Amino acid sequence: MALKKGVDVKPASGKLGILMPGMGAVATTFIAGVMSIRKGLSKPIGSLTQMGHIRLGKRTDNNSPTIKEYISIAKLEDIVFGGWDIFHDNAYQAAVRAGVLESKHLDPIKEELEAIKPMTAVFEQAYVKKLTGPNVKKGTSKADLADQLMADIKNFKEKNGCDRLVAVWCGSTEVYRKPTDVHMSLDKFEAGLKASHDDIAPSQIYAYACLKMGVPYANGAPNLSLDTPALLELARKQNMPVTGKDFKTGQTLMKTILAPGFKARMLGLEGWYSTNILGNRDGEVLDDPESFKSKEVSKLGVIDSILQPDKYPDLYGNISHVVRINYYPPRGDAKEGWDNIDIYGWMGYPMQIKVNFLCRDSILAAPIVLDLALFMDFASRAGMSGVQEWLSFYWKSPMTPDGLYPEHDLFIQLMKLKNTLRYTKGDDLITHLGAEYYD
Ligand SMILES: NC(=O)c1ccc[n+]([C@@H]2O[C@H](COP(=O)([O-])OP(=O)(O)OC[C@H]3O[C@@H](n4cnc5c(N)ncnc54)[C@H](O)[C@@H]3O)[C@@H](O)[C@H]2O)c1
């Protein structure tokens, strides 16, 4: 639905339930972080909704409120957490297992975390080959499983006295699949659910159930999930916002920071070799070639769309772009990425850049989950539905409305995000193109 200027946004009153299919490293780091911030023990570092400012008017106006003052978003105190997982571990046990946060951060919130127990998951081994778990629903068909998820959502909302819900998929990366006929319309998809069609993935059953229940849905993994005609049709029908795919965290974040810089300076790129070692459960799942394929496709798209080789053949017409992920258990969640970037300058002289990012995957992903949940709830209250392209900032593979190429440049994405917020408030957009020097 087209964005309206100066919309009336329903107030963020009451509790907001954030539902996560998949309660592993990312989900528990996010939950623990919010709890710690609520207790005044940590700061929301990395979160635009909590720390970002937005400039309004001319630079001489000196008016830059924080985003959370500017738009109506839910308060951290009003958030309730829930989710599903194929393991029975509560959020405390899952956080300890994930090994991201130290006991000095988990101990003060142990009881609160222990109270969050995963609901029984919809899971199919064929879609995540490396995992098996005991906490899995049984059903007579995929339609029956979707009904069970809808019942979970209804119960969660009632039990926790939530005013609104949003969902963010934090589950494992499913195997790479392209949409097939069953994904081409809502009718076909619903018939496929009843017939338990093999091509309907668990992540799609969650997306379907959430949208049916009026819950905005964000997909943090690279697999298709809601990025199909059928589920986008459902989102439109339900007037629900949707967004995805694949949280933009470590190496791809660096790519979308560096590549726009090369292009801005008209520097050529001959090759970009990226390799990672990763030892958490996500790394184990990605050790399966079919799950890795989903990730690879998501990671590879970025460079081409930023650099536009068709428009700049002399600079970017022949790039060798290679991405590798190796499962290496000793490293746990502390991923290490190496990038070797071969660039060239004036008269074609070659240069090299080496980036060695010792990052923490879930530490980078957690604030993204928070921002997405809060912005999706805002979008829903503002009457925004369909694909929320202004949230491309958060994604490795931003979903776009039909026929449009994704915008990957982090700085354009940020401008788009902030201008969308200004637009919904009826304020002037900031284009940095004003006729006056102080615009
Ligand atoms: N950490 C990052 O920086 C990052 C960045 C981009 C994308 N992602 C994606 O986010 C997702 C979560 O990452 P993570 O590091 O938390 O992984 P994780 O393995 O720690 O957690 C995933 C959890 O999902 C559960 N799960 C799998 N299938 C499920 C299903 N059908 N229903 C319910 N639960 C299910 C698993 O049991 C596991 O507990 C992955 O898909 C990953 O690729 C992570």
Does residue 218 surpass a pLDDT of 80?
yes
Same domain, 264 and 225: no
Domain assignment present for residue 126? The answer is yes
Q: Which atom of ligand 1 is the closest one to the Cα of 365?
A: 3
Number of H helices, E strands in the chain: 16, 11
pLDDT in tens, 238-247: 999 999 999 9
Tell me the range of 208-212, 288-292, 403-407 where mean pLDDT is highest.
208-212
Q: Give per-residue burial for 387-401: e unless 16+ CB within 10 Å, then b.
A: bbbbbbbbbbbbbee
Q: Compute the distance from residue 343 Cα to the ligand 1 centre, in Å.
A: 34
For residue 102, what pLDDT is reported?
95
Which CATH number fits the domain that encloses residue 398?
Answer: 3.40.50.720
Q: What's residue 437's pLDDT? A: 53
Cα separation, 215 vs 208, whole angstroms: 10
Q: What is the pLDDT of residues 91-138, one digit of tens each?
A: 999 999 999 999 999 999 999 999 999 999 999 999 998 889 999 999
pLDDT the model gives residue 433: 67
Say which residues have a Cβ less than 8 Å from residue 278's Cβ, sequence separation at least 6. Answer: 286, 325, 326, 327, 328, 331, 333, 335, 361
Average pLDDT value for the chain: 92
C-alpha 259/C-alpha 262 separation (Å) is 5
Predicted pLDDT of residue 436: 59
| Ligand 1 pocket residue status of 337, Cβ below 6 Å | no
Claim: this prediction has a pTM higher than 0.85 = yes
Lowest mean pLDDT among 10-19, 319-328, 379-388: 319-328
* Confidence check: pLDDT of 385 > 90: yes
pLDDT at res. 131: 87
Phi, psi of 395 (to 5 degrees): -120, 145
Q: What percent of the chain has pLDDT over 90?
A: 72
User: In the chain, what percentage of residues exceed pLDDT 70?
Assistant: 97
Q: How far is the CA of 339 from the centre of ligand 1 (A)?
A: 24
Query: 371 with 397, same domain?
Result: yes
**Distance between CA 347 and CA 400 in Å, rounded?**
38
Q: What is the DSSP secondary-structure string of 193-256?
A: HHTT-TT--HHHHHHHHHHHTT--EEE-SSS-TT-SHHHHHHHHHHT-EEEESSB--SHHHHHH
Which structural domain, as residue segments, surrounds residue 309?
Answer: 251-358
* 26 and 172 belong to one structural domain: yes
Are 71 and 201 members of one domain?
A: yes
Q: Last residue of a domain, which of 339, 358, 377? A: 358
pLDDT of 316 above 60:
yes
CA of 73 to the centre of ligand 1 (A): 26
Q: Residue 152 domain-assigned?
A: yes
Residues 44-67 have a mean pLDDT of: 94
Mean pLDDT along residues 258-278: 94
Question: pLDDT value at position 273?
Answer: 95
- 149 within 8 A of 122, measured Cβ to Cβ: yes
* pLDDT tens for each residue of 150-187: 999 999 999 999 999 999 999 999 988 889 999 999 99
pLDDT at 345 over 80: yes
Residue 351's φ and ψ, nearest 5 degrees, are: -140, 160
- Token representation of residue 395: 């994604």
Least Cα distance to 252 among 218, 294, 301 occurs for: 301
Where residue 73 falls among pLDDT bands split at 50, 70, 90?
A: very high
Output the pLDDT for position 2.
60
How far apart are the CA of 212 and the centre of ligand 1, in A? 23
364: Cβ below 6 Å to ligand 1?
yes
Residue 249 CB–ligand 1 contact under 6 Å: yes
Mean pLDDT of 70-88: 97
- Looking at residue 435, its pLDDT comes to 58
What is the tally of structural domains in the chain? 2
The CATH number linked to 264 is: 3.30.360.10
* Cα 413 from Cα 392, distance rounded (Å): 6
Q: Which two tokens stand for residue 259?
A: 């590549």
